[in-house]
Amino acid sequence: MNWNTPICKVNETENTIYIKREDLIPYSFGGNKARKAFLFFKEIDACKADYVVTYGSACSNHCRVVANMACERKIPCIIVSPFLSHVKNSYNTQMMEIFNAKIVTCPIDEVHQKIENILSELKRYGHLPYFIAGGGHGNIGTQAYIDCYEEICEYEKSMQMKFDYIFHASGTGTTQAGLVCGQLINGDNRKIVGISIAREEVYGRGIVVESIREYLDTANRKIPEQKIQKSVIFDSSFVSGGYGVSEEGINNIIDNMLSQRGIPLDQTYTGKAYYGMNEYIEKNNIKEKNILFIHTGGTPLFFDYLNEGSLNNG
């Protein structure tokens, strides 16, 4: 699906920095979860599912968007959510309540079983539930970011320029998998850098590589393993305290980006990734390059940040 989200130049320092505004996808505060969910709901509409089941934390952007789309269709939505002591209720949680989503909590190590139980129970009662993996993980989510990659290529063509680097926040790795698949399919050789927002390097990177392979296998595209491996840069140097934990450098970036550019970032994803990008540029002595930062959304988390008005709001 083509959204053609705007690409804006924000900064001309040693490098030229552009931002692709995925946060402006026109549904439920947008973001990468909206881009993915539109593709999932195409399937849901086609197969006439009568329940949607998904997974995510209380502040999940993914769950907000999925609950919104299910509510619009009058399809009941069940969200399985892990108990996470450091994740507080948020504007996303409040919206899930407005959308009448049923939130079922359980300890994190029982999540898999819980989902299985809910799905088999629904089927036993004659329902046709559709399960969306947490964060919109899987080939459909990957496809959404191949579409995004194609938009980036279109922009480059029309502006007669090339981005040397693409940076973005990497969580479940689906966004990164899609972007890298797009790159491999097009035979481009720029660098795509996923800034990890929680996962450590070996595990997080492994999931990105696995998702790429799964997509390419299903699409019957033969790309050498070595090439896939070389294309995945997953930097976990900025995970700091873990998922949702901010620090002063990140808060400064959020405040600056809003006051100087009018663009909201958040502590969990885009603020952390933008901070990571700046550090990466400096550490690797990158100069005179065209750099694209993908704003993956999460605007409700920006308001959580304002609401908390302090560090480590989780």
Ligand X SMILES: *Cc1c(COP(=O)(O)O)cnc(C)c1O
Name the residues that contact ligand X, by CB under 6 A.
Answer: 31-33, 61, 135, 169-176, 269-270, 296-298
**Toward ligand X, which CB reaches closer, 118 or 207?**
207
What is the gyration radius of the CA atoms in the chain, in angstroms?
19
Closest approach, Cβ 198 to ligand X, in A, equals 9
Give 119: exposed, middle or buried? Use CB within 10 Å, 0-12, 13-18, 19+.
middle
**Toward ligand X, which CB reaches closer, 31 or 314?**
31
**What whole-number distance in Å separates Cα of residue 293 and Cα of residue 84?**
30
Closest approach, Cβ 73 to ligand X, in A, equals 22
The H or E element spanning position 78 is strand 77-82
Closest approach, Cβ 171 to ligand X, in A, equals 3
Angle, helices 61-72 vs 91-98, to 10°: value is: 20
**Toward ligand X, which CB reaches closer, 170 or 246?**
170
For residue 309, count other CB atoms closer than 10 A to its CB: 7
**What whole-number distance in Å separates Cα of residue 251 and Cα of residue 21?**
20
Closest approach, Cβ 74 to ligand X, in A, equals 25
Query: Which DSSP symbol is given to 148?
Result: H
**Toward ligand X, which CB reaches closer, 122 or 212?**
212
Alpha helices in the chain (DSSP H): 32-47, 61-72, 91-98, 111-124, 139-159, 174-186, 201-218, 225-231, 248-261, 270-283, 299-308
What one-character-per-residue DSSP string does 6-71 give? -EEEEEESSSEEEEEEGGGSSSTT-SHHHHHHHHHHHHHHHHT-SEEEEE--TT-HHHHHHHHHHH
**Toward ligand X, which CB reaches closer, 122 or 166?**
166
> Which residue has the CB atom at the shortest distance from ligand X?
298
C-alpha distance from residue 7 to each of 4, 10, 100, 115, 159 (Å) = 9, 9, 35, 38, 11
Closest approach, Cβ 14 to ligand X, in A, equals 26
Closest approach, Cβ 151 to ligand X, in A, equals 16
The H or E element spanning position 235 is strand 233-235
**Toward ligand X, which CB reaches closer, 32 or 54?**
32
Closest approach, Cβ 172 to ligand X, in A, equals 3
**Toward ligand X, which CB reaches closer, 17 or 169?**
169
